[in-house]
Amino acid sequence: MAPPFVFSKIIKFMRRIVFLINEISLLSIIFLGIFLSFVVWSADRKKKINRWFVIMTLFVILWVVFGFLGTWVKNSLLSIFFYRLNFGAVTLSLLSAFYFYIIYFLNYKEKKEYKIVEKIILFLSFFIFFLSVFTDAVIKNTIVKPWGSEIIFGRANILFNLYAISIGSFIVILLIKKYFHLSQKEKLKTQYFLFGTLLAFLFNVVFNIIFPMVFKINQYQYLGDYSMILPLIFTAYAIVKRKLFGIKVLLTDILVGVMGLILLVQFIFAKTTEWRISSFINLFLFLFFAYFVIQSVYKEEKLKEEAIALAKRERELRIGEQRLRHARDQFILSSQHYFRTPISSIIGYLQLVFQGFFGKVSEKMEEKLKNVYQSSLTLRDRIEECLEIALLQLKKAPLLKEEVSLKEIIDEIINETKLFFERKNLTLETIFPQEPLPPLYLDKKRIKEALFNLVDNAIKHTDQGKITLSLEKRDISLKLGNIPSILFIVKDTGVGIKKEELAFLGTAPFERGEGSRNLTMLGKGIGLYLSRLIIEAHQGKLWLESEGPNKGTTCFVELPLSQKPEKTKEKETQVKID
């Protein structure tokens, strides 16, 4: 059995090692704190939040230094002096943390209720500071023990602990509460603030409050003091770094670093060659796979941030598009009203001229005025057409619905376009059911306009061959769900449509296919779009099919079969589009 003096020497040696570790830790914290203060202050010297970080860091350094001196000095009076300064620095650190996190980061300085809270916390902080530093109410005395000086607490120590826990909890709770209302970048900053603050808070509660008060153990107080460097590191990183990654990335880095350090220590202190080789292989494999793990986590976090940014940008663009579309529609509505008034006056005066109201005009002049009159009528029709599109887009166009036969409307369109068929030497084929089709309840004028546009388009885009018009009743519709419908089909042998153009033709005004543009430059690209709006206003569907260029086009119009509503005194009922 070893003699007692051997154990005594071992204990003294261990105490020297502990003291040396504490000295190294203290110097590291001082250096790191000053470095972090300089980095943050240099990032933006004018920002008050950066200045408060520097103030908070300086108080934390004083907290740790006075705690170290209070523990390791052998003189009882000096120990009391340094411990009291230590508790005073703790009070000022918490006060500066309140200003940094709550007043400037969360920006509560403008709120009236928090101005009152600020005054209360200021008063409490200076009151606790006075009790801690200038009285024996918090620290009554110290006892020199082998491991260092132990505090004998006064009666007001409970008050000090309540103050510290309250301020720490208040900061953490407000950070968590505000977290859900912050931007993505501010949320990332708050994650770092919360992580570092919670770690330091837990360390201090355990080693500086629970251990001394419950277990009467004071020698581990320095662990709580040293833990205050954690919120400084995390906070400085969050302030300085412009592109922050989630806390998961930082935790992965820390875990990899700790595991790598453990394996490195195991390699250095390996007692046998076999153990050292095994430790080296373990370290090498760990670092190899850790590299890919870290890269994967970084990539995942970066993709997540990019996805969030893209979603935000897409939302902003969608809102902007809606505003522009609304402004465009309002402009079209107002401008068409402005144009319609003067053109109506022109037409009216020309009619009076033809009636001889202003006297007789020469034949040559009358001929020229008739050309002006026809151009004015065409212009009015174009204005009415654009106005109708705008009303349909805004869902403000009234539908004058009545019971009509779709077959009769098609017959009228055939009679009106017969001359066009003859001029282009096109064959017209009709496929109608022998049994009469049930009547539909719709706006006859608008439906006729929509179907006429489709037949007119087929004639314009077909130079030779035939155009087939067909009608059929379907018990189950193709596009309208499980309901009966009537299907009208216009099939031509004209220029056809490219596959990639089928998706967008008719979805916006002034859109024309390549075949149509090559055939003629005179088309407006309005007819198909207007037809679609009218069909959809009647809860129907319009779509196109084509095998490709020069292979013809088939246009489908499907309208639901609906029962006529109960009879009213008026023949027609005005219905606004929902």
The CA distance from 569 to 398, in Å, is: 19
| Average pLDDT score over residue span 64-86 | 88
Q: Is the dihedral of CA 86, 91, 93, 94 positive or negative?
A: positive
The model's pLDDT over 370-384, given as tens digits with 9 standing for 90+, comes to 888 888 888 887 777
Q: Is the pLDDT of residue 427 over 60?
A: yes
Q: Is the pLDDT of residue 508 over 80?
A: no
* Number of Cβ atoms within 10 Å of the Cβ of 224: 25
Average per-residue pLDDT for the chain: 79
Look at residue 131 in the predicted model and tell me its pLDDT.
93
| Average pLDDT score over residue span 66-73 | 86
* Number of Cβ atoms within 10 Å of the Cβ of 313: 10
Look at residue 92 in the predicted model and tell me its pLDDT.
94
Q: Which range among 54-58, 67-71, 275-279 shows the weakest confidence by mean pLDDT?
A: 275-279
The CA distance from 136 to 153, in Å, is: 8
Q: Which two tokens stand for residue 543?
A: 């779509």
Look at residue 254 in the predicted model and tell me its pLDDT.
61
Instruction: With H, G, I as helix, E, B as strand and everything else as coil, classify residue 401.
Output: strand
Q: Is the pLDDT of residue 277 over 70?
A: yes
Tell me how far the alpha carbon of residue 507 is from its chain's centroid.
28
Task: Determine contact, residues 409/443, Cβ cutoff 8 Å.
Answer: no
Task: Determine contact, residues 429/466, Cβ cutoff 8 Å.
Answer: yes
The model's pLDDT over 524-544, given as tens digits with 9 standing for 90+, comes to 567 788 888 889 888 899 988
Please list the alpha-helical segments (H only) found in 180-272.
184-204, 221-226, 229-240, 247-268
Run of H or E including 53: helix 48-72
Axis-axis angle for helices 527-537, 444-460 (nearest 10): 150
The CA distance from 462 to 455, in Å, is: 11
b/e sequence 28-43, b meaning 16+ C-beta within 10 Å: ebbebbeebbeebeee
**What percentage of the chain carries pLDDT values higher than 70?**
82
The CA distance from 406 to 559, in Å, is: 10
| Average pLDDT score over residue span 356-372 | 82
Q: Which range among 4-8, 34-38, 67-71, 206-210 shows the weakest confidence by mean pLDDT?
A: 4-8
Look at residue 248 in the predicted model and tell me its pLDDT.
59
Q: Which range among 69-83, 101-115, 421-435 shows the weakest confidence by mean pLDDT?
A: 101-115
| Average pLDDT score over residue span 424-429 | 90
Task: Determine contact, residues 387/341, Cβ cutoff 8 Å.
Answer: no
Task: Determine contact, residues 132/161, Cβ cutoff 8 Å.
Answer: no
Strand pairing class (427-431; 466-474): parallel
The model's pLDDT over 21-65, given as tens digits with 9 standing for 90+, comes to 777 777 877 887 887 788 778 777 788 888 888 898 899 899 888
Look at residue 367 in the predicted model and tell me its pLDDT.
83
Task: Determine contact, residues 510/526, Cβ cutoff 8 Å.
Answer: yes
Q: Is the pLDDT of residue 276 over 80?
A: no
Structural domains of the chain, with CATH: 30-244 (1.20.1070.10), 398-576 (3.30.565.10)
The CA distance from 200 to 204, in Å, is: 6
| 290 φ, ψ (degrees, to nearest 5) | -65, -35
pLDDT band, residue 287 (cuts 50/70/90): confident
Residues near 535 by beta carbon (within 8 Å), at least 6 away in sequence: 447, 450, 541, 542, 557, 559
Q: Which of 11-15, 269-273, 345-349, 571-575 has the highest mean pLDDT?
A: 345-349
Report the alpha-carbon angle 532-537-539, nearest 5. Answer: 95
Q: What ranges make up the beta strands (E) of 81-223?
A: 139-145, 148-153
Max distance between CA atoms of the chain, in angstroms, equals 143
Which one is predicted more confidently, 106 or 417?
417
What spatial distance separates the first Cα and last Cα of the chain, rounded to whole Å?
99
Instruction: With H, G, I as helix, E, B as strand and everything else as coil, classify residue 491.
Output: strand
The CA distance from 172 to 158, in Å, is: 21
Look at residue 18 in the predicted model and tell me its pLDDT.
61
Q: Based on DSSP, count helices (H) and strands (E) in the chain, helices before strands.
A: 15, 10
| Average pLDDT score over residue span 428-450 | 89
- Count of residues for the chain? 578
Run of H or E including 163: helix 157-179
The CA distance from 321 to 315, in Å, is: 10
* Number of Cβ atoms within 10 Å of the Cβ of 263: 18
The model's pLDDT over 462-473, given as tens digits with 9 standing for 90+, comes to 888 899 999 998
The model's pLDDT over 164-195, given as tens digits with 9 standing for 90+, comes to 889 988 988 888 888 777 776 677 777 777 77
The model's pLDDT over 342-354, given as tens digits with 9 standing for 90+, comes to 888 888 888 888 8
Amino acid identity, position 369 = L
Run of H or E including 458: helix 444-460
Residues near 266 by beta carbon (within 8 Å), at least 6 away in sequence: 279, 282, 283
Residues near 164 by beta carbon (within 8 Å), at least 6 away in sequence: 90, 94, 204, 209
CA gyration radius, the chain = 43
Look at residue 116 in the predicted model and tell me its pLDDT.
85
**What percentage of the chain carries pLDDT values higher than 90?**
15
| 483 φ, ψ (degrees, to nearest 5) | -135, 155
Q: Which range among 13-17, 64-68, 84-88, 127-131 shows the weakest confidence by mean pLDDT?
A: 13-17
Which one is predicted more confidently, 29 or 310?
310
Report the alpha-carbon angle 144-145-148, nearest 5. Answer: 80
Look at residue 82 in the predicted model and tell me its pLDDT.
92
Q: Which two tokens stand for residue 88?
A: 């005073």
Instruction: With H, G, I as helix, E, B as strand and everything else as coil, classify residue 136.
Output: coil
* Number of Cβ atoms within 10 Å of the Cβ of 519: 17
Look at residue 460 in the predicted model and tell me its pLDDT.
87
Name the β-bridge partners of 145: 148
The CA distance from 162 to 147, in Å, is: 28
Q: Which range among 262-271, 319-328, 443-452, 552-561 shows the weakest confidence by mean pLDDT?
A: 262-271
Which one is predicted more confidently, 149 or 137?
137
The CA distance from 33 to 236, in Å, is: 10
